[in-house]
Amino acid sequence: MLRLSWTGVSVLAAVMLLAGPASAADLSLFVGGVMPGTVEVEDVETSLDNSPVYGFRFRSDFVPSFGMEHTLAFSSDYLFPSGASAGGDTRGVAFNSNLILDIPVRVRRAVPFLTAGVGFLRQYGDAPRPVGTRFAVNYGGGVKLPRLVGPVGLRFDLRGIRAGAVTNTLDMLELSAGLTIPLGR
């Protein structure tokens, strides 16, 4: 577990150093849920339970309204097989790097956005782990409500995730909401 913590700290440090100027950056803390489909395990389709997810997103713009976003997310009960015995635990971590584009239509304070990117997800623990570690593609969008109370705003995301390569893929839907804070603006 200590290795995972050092890995997370190393990834965060690299993101902060390589992300660009802090004048066009923000940090979001979020909670949500993942609704997975099925995955094939030993030639048997296995349904997976919904999972809670929490983490942070760091965004840095190249130009106004267009930039990169990096997500590090965790789950204490990640993609557990439906109907499996409750003995043990299955945790998870996901890391994604995305391009993000603000849509230039503003309704009051709302800033809608689109995003797409790549990353990985990893399932670990001592319970059945039908997903393991996989490459993942994600896409989606949401709306950000900046500076609602002082510098703090709200953010809502809806993302589709496809984990795996050509065969034995897993499709998921992630819904999340969180607080967003501008950095350096």
- The partner residues of 117 in beta bridges, in order of sequence, read 98, 138
91: tokens are 């945790």
Residue 21: the pLDDT is 46
Query: Does the pLDDT of residue 81 top 70, yes or no?
Result: no
Asked: is 25-183 a CATH 1.20.120.160 domain? The reply is no
Query: Does the pLDDT of residue 16 top 60, yes or no?
Result: no
- Report residue 75: phi and psi, to 5°: -145, 140
| Domain ranges for the chain | 25-183
Handedness of CA 33, 154, 55, 101 (dihedral sign): positive
At 108-154, the pLDDT tens digits run 889 999 999 999 988 887 766 666 788 999 999 999 999 999 999 99
For residues 102 and 175, give the distance between their C-alpha atoms in angstroms, rounded to a whole number: 19
